[in-house]
A = this chain, B = another copy of it.
């Protein structure tokens, strides 16, 4: 039976693995998906993926590599390091998407398209036709820092993507109070990063996310 509520994903956007471990040793038991963030991928390389999966084999481990080209090579590097899922950036050529997806299926993994920055709805049809089923709807960290908030347009776009058949992951400076905004949608996963990692009590913060999710979608 498929689970009835959105999954919770912790984003490890740390500068080093040891910093990431400080978070995971506390809250791994509270999350479904552990994301090796782009910052950690660039900082430590793909060994970060390998070591996180070795420590947490029961979790879904996502390599947020934001692949823009060389889809087969980069995704294979991540899947060989035991990633379950990898991300491809939204502006990637469709052949890059197909290469990553083909590789994912060879390894029993999956590909998420990362909707960060500039993209067009017309691309969503190409992704679906290529076999993509997971999208990450990302309020840009930098746009957010510049004051951009969740808008009606965000919610309309999410509805449209959901209606097309995509599983949606939501991210971008999410806090618990944002969750009710999405209550009418069958969200696949929510990503929390700093709101859990930087909380005074990360375990309590993660539990509050889980409980709120179950309350809304339960």
Kindly state whether residue A168 has any CB partner on chain B within 8 Å. no
Residue pair B91, A90 in contact (C-beta under 8 Å): yes
Which residues of A, 189-207, contact B by the 8 Å Cβ criterion?
none
Residue pair A69, B142 in contact (C-beta under 8 Å): yes
Q: Which residues in B have their C-beta under 8 angstroms from that of A39?
A: 70, 73-74, 77
Contact A141:B69 (CB < 8 A) given known A46-B42, A91-B117, A146-B95: yes
Residue pair A69, B120 in contact (C-beta under 8 Å): no
Which residues of A, 70-102, contact B by the 8 Å Cβ criterion?
70-74, 77-78, 89-93, 95-96, 98-99
Q: How far is the CB of A78 from chain B (nearest CB, A)?
A: 8
Residue pair B45, A117 in contact (C-beta under 8 Å): no
Q: Which residues in B have their C-beta under 8 angstroms from that of A160?
A: none
Contact A117:B38 (CB < 8 A) given known A89-B89, A96-B142, A142-B96: no
Q: Mark A58-73, 1 if CB is under 8 A from B, else 0.
A: 0000000110111111
Q: How far is the CB of A139 from chain B (nearest CB, A)?
A: 10
Q: How far is the CB of A49 from chain B (nearest CB, A)?
A: 9
Residue pair B114, A118 in contact (C-beta under 8 Å): no
Kindly state whether residue A23 has any CB partner on chain B within 8 Å. no
Can you offer 21 A-B residue contacts whose CB atoms are under 8 A?
A: A38-B74, A42-B42, A42-B45, A43-B77, A66-B66, A66-B89, A68-B117, A69-B117, A69-B138, A72-B142, A91-B91, A91-B116, A91-B117, A91-B118, A92-B117, A92-B140, A93-B117, A93-B118, A95-B143, A118-B118, A118-B120
A residues at B contact (CB < 8 Å): 13, 15, 38-39, 41-48, 65-66, 68-74, 77-78, 89-93, 95-96, 98-99, 114, 116-120, 123, 138, 140-143, 145-146
